[in-house]
Structure 1
């Protein structure tokens, strides 16, 4: 899941991109001009920006130059336009844009460009194996049996390089493979996330929707897409 900023002066384009990207599980912020884009870029620190070229106050290429000149081009930017020339696209790429999408934007091209941009962007991990507290050492065996002892506790299997293993109450553990393609890793995490909260909330879609910040219709669609077994989630509650 990524934070994506969509900058476009056309309401229909903003709503369409919001619908598509939100259904993919991303958090999406919308700006209708460069002034709003500047504010949201500072406030939300997006992982990716979809930036229209032709806007009423400041065009997208000028805004891109501004971010590059002030050290704010720290995220991948995909330019969008229905009227831009090849020279404009080349200039935007030279400044630092990662890709250029020509309107009308097809669903396949949009998702391919977004996935490619996010794959190249640094992966932000909530907790890494190095950041996790060290496990306490197992007590050494004594010469005589301790009261109620059944033998030394079994050691946990060592974590594999490039993986994060988290305990899931009532469901064992969840292991995230950081060597997997970004989309696969994200889908695996989201599936575990929704299964955990569905069990925690006893299958209440309303409470899970509130927790995740998704509309109920979007939540149902996302769960179906991820292959979440709703009946199993309720049984685990």
Structure 2
């Protein structure tokens, strides 16, 4: 599961991409202009950004330059447009965009490009955060670094009790893990949305804000999970 920021001024495109990505198991945040995209980027570092080129306030290429100049372009960015020229695509790539998708975007092309972007992002993130073992003391043996011998006279520590993990129990809470992914995900989502509905006293506005879903998508998701009737009774 990845956090993906979708930036596009067309509500139909945002909703379509959000639905596709959500069904693929990703967390999606939507922005309809550069101002909302800036705010979203400051709140969290997305794992990937889908960025439209032509927007009314600030175009995508200008926003890309802005992020690059501020050191905020540390995630894969895929540009989108139905009217961009080859020069525009080349410029965006030169600035730091990973790829370019031409609208209308086919589902296969979209998912393939996103998978490649997420893979590249994970590789870059790992390379920037992993420190070589025992780099500060090259004479330390690997065995001692992983399991240093106790000091003379010291009492050997007792291993902590082994906790039951989902991998060992085969369950995540009440959700069995030995079932198809889609069914397990539906069970989790049902628990997730019922929790937020109860927490927010069935306020769709607050649940929409909490979950990061637009209201239209939220209504559709609740209906898909079979909890729309509960929402209607509450309202």
TM-score of the pair, normalised by structure 1:
0.60
Establish whether residue 172 from structure 1 lines up as the match of residue 160 from structure 2.
Answer: no
1:85 match: 85
Q: Which residue of 1 aligns with 2:111?
A: 111
Give the whole-Å Cα distance in 1 for the aligned partners of 2:15 and 2:98. Answer: 23
Give, in angstroms, the shift of residue 172 of structure 1.
1.9
Q: Contact 1:197/1:208 (CA < 8 Å) preserved in 2? A: no
Following the alignment from structure 1 to structure 2, what is the Cα–Cα distance between the partners of residues 47 and 210?
Answer: 27
In the TM superposition, residue 16 of structure 1 has moved relative to its aligned partner by: 0.3
Q: How far apart are 1:45 and its partner, in Å?
A: 1.7
Asked if 1:63 corresponds to 2:63, the answer is yes
- Structure 1 unaligned spans of 5+: 139-152, 157-165, 174-191, 221-237
Cα separation, 2, equivalents of 1:104 and 1:199: 38
1:148 maps to none
Distance 1:137 1:42 in 2: 44
SS at 1:66's partner residue? helix
Cα contact 1:209–1:219 (8 A) shared by 2: no
Equivalent position of 2:52 in the other structure = 52
| Distance of 2:82 and 2:118 partners within structure 1 | 23
SS in 1 for 2:72: coil
Which of the two has greater helix per residue?
Answer: 2
Seen in structure 2, the aligned counterparts of structure 1 residues 219 and 197 have a Cα distance that, compared at 3 Å, is farther
**Mapped partners of 2:110, 2:224: distance in 1:** 19
Q: Give the CA deviation at 1:218.
A: 5.9
- Kindly report structure 1 stretches of 4+ aligned residues shifted beyond 2 Å: 122-125, 166-169, 197-200, 203-220
1:38 counterpart = 2:22? no
Residue 217 of structure 1 and its aligned partner are, at CA, apart by: 5.8
Aligned to 2:122, the other structure's residue is in SS state coil
Q: Which whole-Å deviations, capped at 9, do the CAs of 1:33-83 have from their partners, x for residues lacking one?
A: 101100011012211110000000000001000100110101110000000
Report the TM-score when normalising by structure 2. 0.61
**CA shift in 2, pair 1:47/1:78, >3 Å:** same
